[in-house]
Structure 1
Amino acid sequence: MTDERSRKLMKRLVERSVHEVNELTAQTGLTKRQVEYSLEKINEYVGADNGWKLVIENNRIILNDQVREQFISVLSDRSYAKQYLMNAFERTNYLYLLLFYCGDEYLSISHFIEELGVGKTTIINDLKNLTLQLEKENIQLAYTRKNGYYLSGDEYQIRYYLMKMIIWDSTENNTSFIYDRFIERHHIETVETMRQLLEQYTKKYSISFVENRLTEFIYTFIFLKKRLSDFPVKLNDKYQLPALTAMNEYQFSRSILDHFAINEASAALYLCAWILGLSVGRETIHSKDTETIMILVKRIILRFETISGIRFNNREVVIRQLYSHLRPAYYRLFFKLPIVNPLHEKIKSEYGELFNIVEETLKPFASLFEHPIPEDEIAFLTMHFASLCSTFDDCLTTQKVALIVCPNGIGSSSIVYTELKTLFPELSFLGPVETSEIEQLSNSYDLIFSTVPNIRLFYTKKPVYIVSPIMTTSEKYRLISDVYTQIGNFNFKLPAVDKIMEIVERHAAINQSAGLEKELYEYLINQNEAVEETDDGPGLQEITAPELIQLNMSAKNWEQAIRLSAAPLLKQGRITRNYIETMIETAKKEGPYMVISKQVALPHARPMDGVLQLGMSITVLKEPIVFGSKENDPVKYVFCLAATENNRHLNAMVELVRLLEDPEFYSILETSQQSEEVFGYLSQTTALLEK
C-alpha cells in the first residue's frame, strides 16, 4: 500500500528529472528520513514490477522519462485508491462524505470500521477530529441509539462544507481518487458518465465551465443529488429572484434534475445559484443580469485605475476578462457559495502591493453582499489585474514554440502566460489551453508548460514543465535552469544561490539572509536589469519631495486645481505639458474619475501621455472645489501622480491609501506651515508602515 506522504513525494518528483533532497524537504515539509522512507514505499509499490529502484546519490534523486510517466500514470489512475492507506485527515473527509451521502441510513461505529478498514480506536479518534472541525462551521455530529450517527445543523452549511471540501481536495490536496473510491464502493454514477450527460446540456444552454470547475461540480453533484430530495432546504428570499428562472442556468439545472427525476421545488433554484457561481461569464451572451454585471465591472475598473494610477490601454480586453471572472464571483458572494483559493497566501506574498490596491478597490462594493469580500476572492481578482497590468510586448521570435496548458481558468492562465513570456523571451507561446485541446494542436509546439501534472501531457513525448500559477523567485530560477539545460544550451548553468550564500557567510555577517537570497535569485534571473529594478518599488516619500508639496493654494475650479497640482511635476521635468492636457481632457470625457474618496482627488494619465520620471505632487487647497463627484465632492486634497510604464509606483500607492484612512494625516496637511513638515511626517509614517 502507498500513503499520503508517498503520493505527495511522487507528485513533486514528476515535476522535474533531477531533485536536490534539501529542496524536496523544503517543498514537501518532510524530513530527509521521511523522504527516504517514502522512497522505499514507492520502490515497493511501483518499482518492484518494473525493474528499477529510486535511490539518493550525492544528495540527489534522478528520474528518467519512463519512471516519470509511471508516476503520472499512478497519480492519474482512479484504481490507485484501492491500495491507498488514508491518513487521519483523509479518513475524516471520507467519514463526512459517508455521513453526507448516507444521511437517510442508520450509521454506527461498525459501519465506519467496515468502510475504512481500520480499528475502533482509530475511528473514535477520527470522529472526535471531525466533530471539532464541524463545530467551527456550526455543524454538529450527533448520535442517538434510534438514529445512529448523523449530521445536524443548517442544511446550507452542511452542503457548503461538502463543496468546500471537494474544491480543496481537488485543487490543493489532489486527493479526488478518494471520492472515486467512495463512488465505486457505493455503485454511484461514475464521473465520466456524469460528464457526458452534462456536456449535452452545456452545449444546449450555452453554459461554459473552466475544466477544473466542471470536475468539481461533477463530484459535488454526484453526492448532492440524493440529498436534494431527502433533505430539501427552505429557500432564502435571495433565491426568489424573478430573473433567476429566466436564465439559461436555471433551464440547465431543471434539465439535469428532470433527468434524475428530482422534483423538489427548491432544488432547481439552489442548483441554478450554484452554477451561476461556477460557470464562466461571457459578455457576448445576453441575459437578465448582463447589464447589472457590466456596470459593476466598469465601476471596479474605474476605481482600480483611480486608486492605482494605472490607465489601461485596451479597455475592451480588460472589460471582457474581468466580466468572465466577476459574473461568477458576484453570485458566489451573493449566495454565499464556497470560495476556495489555494493560491491565496502566495498571491498576497508575490503581489502584495497589488493585492492591497484591489482590496481597497472592492471596499465600496462589499455593501452589495451585506458582508466583507473574502480574501480568497480578492486574491482571484488580483490575479486578473496582475495579468492586465503587464506591459510586456509579444515576442516575435519563433525559434521554439511553447504550449501553455492551464485547466484552472483565465486568472491563473493569464498570470502563467505573462510570467513565462518574461522568463523566456526567445520562445513563442501558444495558449493558454485546457488539457482537452492538446490533441487538436498536433505537433505545432516543442515543449509544454502546465500548472497541473497530467498523464496526457507526457504522452505527447515533448518536454513537460510543471509550474505554479504564482511562481516565487526561487521557482522561476529553477525553471530557467531546467528549460535551458534541456532544450536551450546544454552547457548553460545558473550559479547556485545556496553556494553563493555559503561563501558570503564564511566571509561576512548577513543581517537579512532571506532578503539577500531573494535578491540574488532576482538578479540572476534578470542579469541584464539593475538589481534595484527588481525590488518592491519606491515608497511614497521616495516619489515626492518638499518641492512637490503645496499648501494653502487657491483655485477657481477643478481644471485649475489639476493644473495647479501638476505644476511642480512640470517644473521638475517629471512630466510634459501634454500630460496635463491629457488629464484634463480625460476628465471632460469620463467625468471626475480622479476623485477617489471624500475630499481627495488623484489626477493621472497614462505613462505614454508624457511621463518623464516617476513622481507625485501633493496640493492642499485653501477652499474646497467641486469636481462633479456626487459622492465625494468637494475636493480639498489633490495628489497628482506621474507613473512610469513598469508599475513601480504601486508600493507608494498602497502607502497613500493607508494614509488616506488616517485622520492625523489630514490634520498634518491642514496645520502644517511648511512643506518640509508634511514631507517629514510622510517619511516617518511610511517607514513605520514598511515595518
Structure 2
Amino acid sequence: MMDERSRKLMKRLIERSVHEVDELAVQNSLTKRQLEYSLEKINGYSVFDSNAKLVIENNRIILTNQLREQFMTILSDKTYRKGYSMNAFERSKYLYLLMFYFSDEYLSINYFIDELGVGKTTVMNDLKNLTIELEIENIQLVYTRKDGYQLSGNEEQIRYHLMKMIIWDSTENNTAFIYDQFIEKHQVETIDSMKDLVEKYTVKYGISFVENRLSEFIYTFIFLKKRLFNQSVSFCDKYQLSALIAMKEYQFSKSLLAHFCIEDQSACMYLCAWILGLSIGRPDDSTKDYETIIELVKRIIQRFEAISGIRFNNQELVVRQLYTHFRPAYYRLYFKLPIVNPLHNKIKDEYSELFNIVEETLKPIASLFEHPIPEDEIAFLTMHFASLCSNFDEYTTTQKVALIVCPNGIGSSSIVYTELKTLFPELSFLGPVETKEIERLSDSYDLIFSTVPNIRLFYTKKPVYIVSPIMNTREKYRLISDVYAQIGNFNFKLPSVDKIMEIIQKHAAVNGGSALEKELYEYLINQEEPVEKNGEGPGLQEITAPELIQLNIEAKNWEEAIRLSAAPLLKYGRITRNYIDTIVDTAKKEGPYMVISKNVALPHARPIDGVKRLGISISVLKEPLVFGSKENDPVKYIFCLAATENNRHLNAMVELVKLLDDPQFYYLMDNANDSHELYRYLFQQDILIARN
C-alpha cells in the first residue's frame, strides 16, 4: 500500500538524477534503515518494468529517465489513492475535515472507523491527539449521544484552523493530497469546476492571485461554503460596511456566494476580508484604500532606509513592489487572518541582520493593529527587502537560458531571481513565471529552476532544478555542482566540504565544526568575498575606530553638524566630499530622513555618491540641535554611515539598533573622557552579542 513516506520520497527522488543516501535520509527525516525500507516499497510500485529498480551503489542512488517517468505516471494516476494508507497526522487532518464539513450530520466512532479503514483503538487515539492539538487554539472536540462528534468553539477560530492546515500543506509540504482524497471520495466538488468559476469572477472584477494563493483559496472555499449557509460570524464589526461595499473584493465575494445561493451579508463581509488578505495589491488600481496604504508603504521604506543605512536608487519601483505585498498584509493584520510562512525560521537564519532591521522598521506600524506584527509576516517583508537590497549588473548573453518558475509570489520570486543570478552569472534568466507559462515558453529556455517540484515541469524534458526560495550555503553549493555537471561544464567540480572536514579533523581538534563547515561552503561558493565571523557582516566596532569618534563637538545648525560628523570619514579616505554634499542636499529636499529615533541621526547616502570604504563615525554634540523632526528632535548623537554596495554593514546596523536601547551607551557618550573609552565599550558589546 502507498503511504505518505513513500509518496514524499518518490517526489523527492524525481527532483534530481543523483542522490547521496545520507543527504536524502536527512531531507526526509529518516534513518538509513527506514530509507532502505521505503526504497524497497517504492520498487514494489514500479510494476511497469521489473528490471527498472532503485539501487544504492557507493552510497548513492541514481534515478534513470525510465524510473523518473514511471514515478511521474504513478503520482499522476489517481488510482493508487484507493489503497492509500494514511499515517496518524493525515488521519488527524481527515477527521477535522469530516467534522468541519459535515457539521450538520451525526458522526459516530463507527462512522470514523469505516471512513478511515482502521480499528477502533487507532481512531480513539487519533481523536485524543486531535483534541490536544485543537485545545491550543481554543477549539473543543465534543461528543454527545444526541449529536455525535462535533467541533465547538469560536467559529472564526474553527475556520482559521482549516485555513492554516491548507496553507501549511500547500506551501511547506507542497501537497493537497488529503484534501483531494476527501473531495473525490465525497464528491463534494471538482477542483477544476471551482477554479473555472473563481477565475471567471477574478477577470470580471480585476482581482489577481498568486498561483499558490489561488489554489489555497479554492480548496478552502470548497470546504467552507457549506458552513457559510448555517454558521454565521460577527466578523469585522469595527469595519464600516459602506467602506467594504465600495471595494471590488466585496463585489467579487457577493457574486461568488450568489452562485451558490448564499446571500448572508456577514458571509459576504467575511469572504471579502479574506480576499483582501489573499489577493495581490495592484498599485495601478484606483481603490479607496490606495492613499492610506501607499502612505504606509512610503513610511515603511523611509524608516527602513533610515535604520539600515541603505538608500534605494529607484524609489518608484521600490514603492510599487512593496505595495503589491503590503496591501494584502495590511488586511491580514487588520482582520487577524491566518499568516503562515513555512520559510520563517530559514529567513531568520539566512537573513538574520535584515530580519532584525525589518522588525525594528515595523514597530511604529504595529500600533495601528493593536497587536505585535507576527514574525511570519515580518519574514515575508524581509524577503522583499532582501531582493530590493541586491544590486546586479544586467547584461546580454548568448549562453544558456534558464526559466525560473515560482508560484509563491513576488517575494519568493525576487529572492530566487537575485540568488540565481549571483550563483550563475553566465546564464540568462527568464521569469519568474507561474507554472502555467512553461508550455507557452517551451522553445525559449534550456533549463528550469523552480521553487515547487510540480510534476508538469519534468514533462518538459528539460533539466529541472528544485530550489528553496531561501538557500543556505550547503544548498547553494549542491546546486552549483548539479547545474555545472549537467549543462556541459563537465570539468568543473567543487571540492567536497565533507572530505575537507574529514582531513582537518584527522590532524587537528575542531571547535565549532558546523561554523567551520559553513565558512568553507561560503568560501568555495564565492571566493572573492571575505568570510566574516559566523558568516555575517562586520560588527559595529569593526567598521569604526577611535579616530572616527568625536565627543563634545560644537555646531551652529543641523547642516554644520552633519558636515562635522562626516569629516573623520573624509579625512581617513572612507568617503569623498561629494558624499557629504549629497547627504545635505537630500535632507534639504526630503526633510530630516536621517533622524531615526529620539535624539539620534544616521546621515547616509548611496554608495555611488562617494563611498570608498565601509565605515561609520560617531559624533556627540555639546548642545542638541533641531533637525526638523517633530517626533525625535533635538538631535545630540550622530552616526554618519558610509555603506558599500554589498550591504555588508547590516550586521553593524543591527548592533547599533540594540545599543540605542542601552542607557549605559548614552551615559558613556555623554561622559566618556576620550574616544578610546567609548570604542572599548563597543568592543565589549560586540563580544557579548557574539556569545549570545
Aligned partners of 1:10 and 1:623: how far apart in 2?
69
Q: Secondary structure at the match of 1:495?
A: coil
Aligned partners of 1:408 and 1:650: how far apart in 2?
27
Q: CA deviation at 1:567?
A: 1.0
Alignment of 1:225-244 (within 5 A): 225-244=225-244
Q: Does 1:636 align with 2:642?
A: no
- After superposition, give the CA deviation of every residue in 1:63-103 in whole Å (9 maximum; x if it has no partner): 01232233344344555433321111111111111111011
Amino acid at match of 2:429: F
User: Could you list the runs of 5+ residues in structure 1 that have no partner in the other structure?
Assistant: none
Q: Which has the higher mean CA deviation after the structures are superposed, 374-383 or 547-556?
A: 547-556
- After superposition, give the CA deviation of every residue in 1:305-356 in whole Å (9 maximum; x if it has no partner): 0000000001111111100000000000000000000111111111110111
Equivalent in the alignment of 2:358: 358
Aligned partners of 1:452 and 1:271: how far apart in 2?
28
Q: CA deviation at 1:532?
A: 5.0
Equivalent in the alignment of 1:45: 45
- After superposition, give the CA deviation of every residue in 1:539-566 in whole Å (9 maximum; x if it has no partner): 0000111111111122221111111111
Equivalent in the alignment of 2:516: 516
Aligned partners of 2:396 and 2:241: how far apart in 1?
50
Q: Secondary structure at the match of 2:438?
A: helix
Kindly tell me: are residues 596 and 528 of structure 1, through their superposed partners in 2, closer, same or farther at Cα, counting changes over 3 Å? Answer: closer
Asked if the contact 1:523–1:529 (Cα under 8 Å) also holds between the matched residues in 2, the reply is: yes
Equivalent in the alignment of 2:331: 331
Alignment of 1:477-626 (within 5 A): 477-531=477-531, 535-626=535-626
Equivalent in the alignment of 2:173: 173
Asked if the contact 2:515–2:534 (Cα under 8 Å) also holds between the matched residues in 1, the reply is: no
Q: CA deviation at 1:27?
A: 1.4
Q: Does 1:103 align with 2:106?
A: no
Moved over 6 A (4+): none
What TM-score, normalized to structure 2? 0.98
What TM-score, normalized to structure 1? 0.98
Q: Does 1:383 align with 2:383?
A: yes
Aligned partners of 1:647 and 1:197: how far apart in 2?
46
Asked if the contact 2:518–2:535 (Cα under 8 Å) also holds between the matched residues in 1, the reply is: no
Aligned partners of 1:488 and 1:58: how far apart in 2?
24
Alignment of 1:263-412 (within 5 A): 263-412=263-412
Q: CA deviation at 1:535?
A: 3.2
Aligned partners of 1:154 and 1:502: how far apart in 2?
56
Kindly tell me: are residues 401 and 46 of structure 1, through their superposed partners in 2, closer, same or farther at Cα, counting changes over 3 Å? Answer: same
Aligned partners of 1:668 and 1:501: how far apart in 2?
44
Q: Which has the higher mean CA deviation after the structures are superposed, 489-498 or 446-455?
A: 489-498
Equivalent in the alignment of 2:435: 435
Q: Does 1:26 align with 2:26?
A: yes
Asked if the contact 2:236–2:270 (Cα under 8 Å) also holds between the matched residues in 1, the reply is: no
Kindly tell me: are residues 318 and 63 of structure 1, through their superposed partners in 2, closer, same or farther at Cα, counting changes over 3 Å? Answer: same
Aligned partners of 1:137 and 1:49: how far apart in 2?
49
Aligned partners of 1:276 and 1:512: how far apart in 2?
47
Q: CA deviation at 1:480?
A: 0.8
Equivalent in the alignment of 2:453: 453
- After superposition, give the CA deviation of every residue in 1:416-446 in whole Å (9 maximum; x if it has no partner): 1011111111100000000011122131111
Asked if the contact 2:52–2:66 (Cα under 8 Å) also holds between the matched residues in 1, the reply is: no
Amino acid at match of 1:307: I
Aligned partners of 1:411 and 1:204: how far apart in 2?
26
Amino acid at match of 1:521: Y
Q: Secondary structure at the match of 1:575?
A: coil
Q: Secondary structure at the match of 1:506?
A: helix
Asked if the contact 1:395–1:426 (Cα under 8 Å) also holds between the matched residues in 2, the reply is: no
Equivalent in the alignment of 1:679: 679
Amino acid at match of 2:288: K
Q: CA deviation at 1:500?
A: 1.1
Equivalent in the alignment of 1:196: 196
User: Could you list the runs of 5+ residues in structure 2 that have no partner in the other structure?
Assistant: none
Asked if the contact 1:139–1:151 (Cα under 8 Å) also holds between the matched residues in 2, the reply is: yes
Aligned partners of 1:287 and 1:75: how far apart in 2?
43
Asked if the contact 1:239–1:270 (Cα under 8 Å) also holds between the matched residues in 2, the reply is: no
Q: Does 1:153 align with 2:149?
A: no
Amino acid at match of 1:217: F
- After superposition, give the CA deviation of every residue in 1:554-588 in whole Å (9 maximum; x if it has no partner): 22211111111111111111111111110010001
Kindly tell me: are residues 589 and 533 of structure 1, through their superposed partners in 2, closer, same or farther at Cα, counting changes over 3 Å? Answer: farther
Amino acid at match of 1:358: V
- After superposition, give the CA deviation of every residue in 1:235-290 in whole Å (9 maximum; x if it has no partner): 34234342211111000000000000011120111000000000011100110111
Asked if the contact 1:238–1:335 (Cα under 8 Å) also holds between the matched residues in 2, the reply is: no
Q: Secondary structure at the match of 2:618?
A: strand
Equivalent in the alignment of 1:209: 209
Q: Secondary structure at the match of 1:284?
A: coil
Kindly tell me: are residues 261 and 50 of structure 1, through their superposed partners in 2, closer, same or farther at Cα, counting changes over 3 Å? Answer: farther
Q: CA deviation at 1:50?
A: 5.9
Aligned partners of 2:98 and 2:358: how far apart in 1?
40
Kindly tell me: are residues 686 and 188 of structure 1, through their superposed partners in 2, closer, same or farther at Cα, counting changes over 3 Å? Answer: same
Asked if the contact 1:413–1:469 (Cα under 8 Å) also holds between the matched residues in 2, the reply is: yes
Aligned partners of 2:80 and 2:312: how far apart in 1?
48
Amino acid at match of 2:181: R
- After superposition, give the CA deviation of every residue in 1:498-540 in whole Å (9 maximum; x if it has no partner): 1111111111111121111111111211234444599311100
Aligned partners of 2:563 and 2:76: how far apart in 1?
63
- After superposition, give the CA deviation of every residue in 1:125-166 in whole Å (9 maximum; x if it has no partner): 111111111110011111111111111111110000000010
Aligned partners of 1:16 and 1:501: how far apart in 2?
25
Asked if the contact 1:78–1:177 (Cα under 8 Å) also holds between the matched residues in 2, the reply is: no
Aligned partners of 1:250 and 1:77: how far apart in 2?
38
Aligned partners of 2:576 and 2:634: how far apart in 1?
28
Q: Which has the higher mean CA deviation after the structures are superposed, 6-15 or 563-572?
A: 6-15
Asked if the contact 1:602–1:638 (Cα under 8 Å) also holds between the matched residues in 2, the reply is: yes
- After superposition, give the CA deviation of every residue in 1:35-75 in whole Å (9 maximum; x if it has no partner): 00100111112346564211111111110123223334434
Amino acid at match of 1:585: D
Q: Which has the higher mean CA deviation after the structures are superposed, 142-151 or 169-178?
A: 169-178
Aligned partners of 1:399 and 1:412: how far apart in 2?
25
Q: Secondary structure at the match of 2:631?
A: coil
Q: Secondary structure at the match of 1:620?
A: strand
Amino acid at match of 1:638: I
Aligned partners of 2:334 and 2:70: how far apart in 1?
44
Aligned partners of 2:403 and 2:50: how far apart in 1?
31
Kindly tell me: are residues 358 and 463 of structure 1, through their superposed partners in 2, closer, same or farther at Cα, counting changes over 3 Å? Answer: same
Aligned partners of 1:70 and 1:452: how far apart in 2?
20
Aligned partners of 2:288 and 2:7: how far apart in 1?
46
Asked if the contact 2:160–2:338 (Cα under 8 Å) also holds between the matched residues in 1, the reply is: yes
Q: Does 1:219 align with 2:219?
A: yes
Q: Secondary structure at the match of 1:233?
A: coil
Amino acid at match of 1:422: T
Equivalent in the alignment of 1:65: 65
Aligned partners of 1:111 and 1:583: how far apart in 2?
72
Kindly tell me: are residues 207 and 236 of structure 1, through their superposed partners in 2, closer, same or farther at Cα, counting changes over 3 Å? Answer: closer
- After superposition, give the CA deviation of every residue in 1:372-404 in whole Å (9 maximum; x if it has no partner): 000000000000110110012124222110000
Q: Secondary structure at the match of 2:242?
A: coil
Aligned partners of 2:396 and 2:583: how far apart in 1?
34
Q: Which has the higher mean CA deviation after the structures are superposed, 385-394 or 42-51?
A: 42-51
Amino acid at match of 1:464: V
Asked if the contact 1:407–1:434 (Cα under 8 Å) also holds between the matched residues in 2, the reply is: yes
Kindly tell me: are residues 304 and 206 of structure 1, through their superposed partners in 2, closer, same or farther at Cα, counting changes over 3 Å? Answer: same
Asked if the contact 2:43–2:54 (Cα under 8 Å) also holds between the matched residues in 1, the reply is: yes
Q: CA deviation at 1:11?
A: 2.3
Aligned-pair identity in percent equals: 76
